[in-house]
Amino acid sequence: MLNINRRSFIKNTAIGVAGLSIVGCAGKYRSEFIPKKEKRVIVVGGGFGGCTAAKYIKLNDPSIEVILVEKNSHFVSCPISNLVIVGLKDMNYITFKYDLLEKNYGIKVLQTEALELNSENNTLITTKGALKYDKLILSPGVGFIEDKSIGYSLNLTDKIPHAWKAGRQTEILRRQLSELKKGGTVILRVPKSPYRCPPGPYERASLIANFIKRNNLGGKIIILDSNDDVTSKGKLFKAAWDDFYRRELEYFSQVDVQNIDTENMIIDTNKGKIKADIINFIPDQKASNTAFKLGLVKEDKLWAFVNSYTFESEMVKDVYVVGDSTNTGSVGTVPKSGYIANSMGKVVAESVVASLNGKTPPKPFMANACYSMVSDTEAIWVTAVYEYDENTKRTITIKGASGTPKTRSKIDAKHQLSWAENIWSDTLM
Amino acid sequence: MKVRFIFLVFLFLIAASFVFAETYEKRIVIVCAGCHGTNGASVGDSIPIIGGQKASYLKKVMMEYKNDKKVGSVMPKIAKGYHDERIDFVANYFSNKQWVNTNKPFDKNLADKGKKIADVCYDCHGKLGEGIEAFPRIAGQPVFYLKQVLFDYKNGVLKSDEMSFVSEYSDVDLEALANYFSSIRR
Ligand SMILES: Cc1cc2nc3c(=O)[nH]c(=O)nc-3n(C[C@H](O)[C@H](O)[C@H](O)COP(=O)(O)OP(=O)(O)OC[C@H]3O[C@@H](n4cnc5c(N)ncnc54)[C@H](O)[C@@H]3O)c2cc1C
């Protein structure tokens, strides 16, 4: 199945690239948009990794010109989006403008899409024109894998939203849930690891079960997990499900979805057929399409391999990749999370600033702290600290400095929001 | 001439190693900003501001977390990633940052009430809650955080001789104290 996925996916990418070069040849996109004068770093992707990199480059060396290329006008945070879906928070709580990066640090924020890379003469082609760079950093997030063989295409996402990229999809799923009829069934499919935010699907399922219970809907949520078991904070999630949601939540592991009939809302699996009112199908993931288009993913691979010390791409010189698009194995033992993308943003900022100034950057050091709600009032977490290890040439977990709490708590629910407000401020303000 | 040259090289090496130490030090501590805000200026109300906090307090707390002498959320785990030199980095770095007061609101009536009983705190935290050596600055921290800490001492979640006085105060008094010290924003 994975092979079919990969082949059909690679075909799509090839078409994408061919299409682009026709656009590129039209000329308009190739003329230089903002002429380069001083040392310049371009950052593609205004998410956790990209904004942090842009900001910390300016903090480390304000003389470097930094241009942030982002296709959307606003940043919408995936962290806390599960709370928005169940109505505990509003969209505006997780939506931000980019203006403070411009105002506070002098970063040029360009709302445009990066289309193509001309690595021989360090030029990035965007919808607004060509931009020359000394260093190019990408943090373009994840891409989603279509699987036509089971009837799953990304065209269907308005009907069966994944909401694994916050924004429009978050709103659709929120609306669907608010209209869930009494006794209704929600299916949530957990993608095959690795995907962004390992505990995210289980947090969402817990909150949907809580929503069903709080509103006395008498319905249920069924988790169809394609993995062998809950991939993160397993014991803690299962304890909460046992204590709170025996009626509202059913969990199945090792599920292969064999067909999705969106007309009749029926999912066919290796364990049987299920009819649902809402299907939250979270597809398998890979590096963002942007990483493929720009030639940063090796043939037959799904993620961008990087040098674990500098984050420079293994494929293209002067181009760096951070955040979810990286092959985490090439980095070390880190998960795909917003906190890690923020940490990587700081490491890559030091890496390119040092390189532009003829210095060696310090060894990578990163951390992760991630909270998940298990009900409307209680949360759990997972945390770790990582350092660069000379032997393995990877950034690995420091012994003893990682783990989960003994149990869920109300104060950790409070910490989740404080955590979010702080990481948003460290990334965007 | 030669001596002078060697001396210059020597100076240069000192300067270079200083710069390197500074970047290395920074490297170790800026990850904290993901939870505590850039330069430790936390904007979340349950996570304390650490930028501009007393160095000896930061050091003491990190050691306590590391040695499981203090309970907390993620910090007892995270502190284990910081050997003693790194704990010094954290304390140096953040204590040298400018203090930025919380932007979270406080209750004026409760703050007035708190002011009347606040002198019990002055010996350790200073008349303006500014902190004295290993006793932390509490002025301008978020109300929620201060209240939580006081309640944790009262309920025995956190233990300290100096803070044992809280058992003689009602919850409302403690809330008033939290509001008073949070209201001092200078
Ligand atoms: C439901 C959910 C909950 C989560 N909760 C947490 C949590 O509690 N804690 C945590 O740490 N993490 C959490 N995460 C994970 C976190 O959201 C991601 O790990 C993080 O967003 C990764 O950052 P990034 O910079 O790699 O990508 P993103 O933040 O996705 O940013 C990528 C950006 O690049 C832009 N872009 C892409 N291609 C182009 C192009 N060609 N031109 C211009 N712009 C482009 C995109 O528009 C986007 O803005 C959660 C994720 C989900 C889905």
DSSP class per residue in A165-219: SSSHHHHHHHHHHHTPPTT-EEEEEEPPSS-S-TTHHHHHHHHHHHHHHHTT---
Q: Sheet harboring A266-269: ordered strands across?
A: A257-261, A266-269, A272-275
pLDDT band at B14 (very low <50, low <70, confident <90, very high): low
* Helix H or strand E segment including A373: strand A365-373
Inter-chain residue contact B32 with A367, CB threshold 8 Å: yes
Report yes or no for ipTM above 0.85: yes
- Tell me the C-alpha distance between B16 and A283, whole Å: 50
The reply to whether omega before A194 is within 30° of 0 (cis) is yes
pLDDT at residue A14, rounded to an integer: 40
Q: Could you read off the pLDDT tens digit of each residue along chain A, which spans 429 residues?
A: 333 344 334 344 444 444 444 444 446 677 888 999 999 999 999 999 999 999 999 999 999 999 999 999 999 999 999 999 999 999 999 999 999 999 999 999 999 999 999 999 999 999 999 999 999 999 999 999 999 999 999 999 999 999 999 999 999 999 999 999 999 999 999 999 999 999 999 999 999 999 999 999 999 999 999 999 999 999 999 999 999 999 999 999 999 999 999 999 999 999 999 999 999 999 999 999 999 999 999 999 999 999 999 999 999 999 999 999 999 999 999 999 999 999 999 999 999 999 999 999 999 999 999 999 999 999 999 999 999 999 999 999 999 999 999 999 999 999 999 999 999 999 999
Looking only at the bridges linking them, the beta strands covering A75-76 and A95-96 are antiparallel
Nearest 5°: CA angle at A255, between A252 and A261? 110
Q: Which residues in chain A (26-85) have CB-CB distances under 8 A to chain B?
A: 56
Residues of A in contact with B42 (CB under 8 A): 418, 422
pLDDT at residue A3, rounded to an integer: 39
- Tell me the C-alpha distance between A222 and A238, whole Å: 14
Contact A141, A326 (CB under 8 A): no
Inter-chain residue contact A403 with B42, CB threshold 8 Å: no
Question: CB of B72 within 8 Å of any CB in chain A?
Answer: no
Helix (H, G, I), strand (E, B) or coil at B65: helix
Distant-in-sequence, close-in-space partners of A214: CB < 8 Å, separation ≥ 6: A376
* Helix H or strand E segment including A138: strand A135-138
- Nearest Cα residue to atom 30 of ligand 1: A141
Kindly state the DSSP code that residue B132 receives in the 8-state scheme. Answer: B
Residues of B in contact with A363 (CB under 8 A): 24, 27
Residue B17 confidence (pLDDT) above 70: no
pTM above 0.95, yes or no: no
Q: Which atom of ligand 1 is nearest to the CA of A339?
A: 11
Residue B19 confidence (pLDDT) above 60: no
Inter-chain residue contact A418 with B42, CB threshold 8 Å: yes
Kindly state the DSSP code that residue B98 receives in the 8-state scheme. Answer: P
Amino acid found at A369:
A
pLDDT at residue A18, rounded to an integer: 42
Inter-chain residue contact A385 with B82, CB threshold 8 Å: yes
Q: Give the rounded percent of residues in chain B with a pLDDT score beyond 90.
A: 84
Q: Which residues in chain A (268-297) have CB-CB distances under 8 A to chain B?
A: none
Kindly state the DSSP code that residue A409 receives in the 8-state scheme. Answer: B
Residues of A in contact with B43 (CB under 8 A): 421-422, 425
Q: Which of A369, A419, A429 sits opposite B44 (nearest CB)?
A: A419
Expressed in angstroms and rounded, the spacing between residue B30 Cα and the centre of ligand 1 is: 21
**Nearest CA to B147 among B168, B134, B162, B166?**
B166
CA distance B174 to chain A (A): 18
pLDDT at residue A308, rounded to an integer: 97
Residues of B in contact with A361 (CB under 8 A): 23
**Other CB atoms within 10 Å distance of the CB of residue A159:** 14
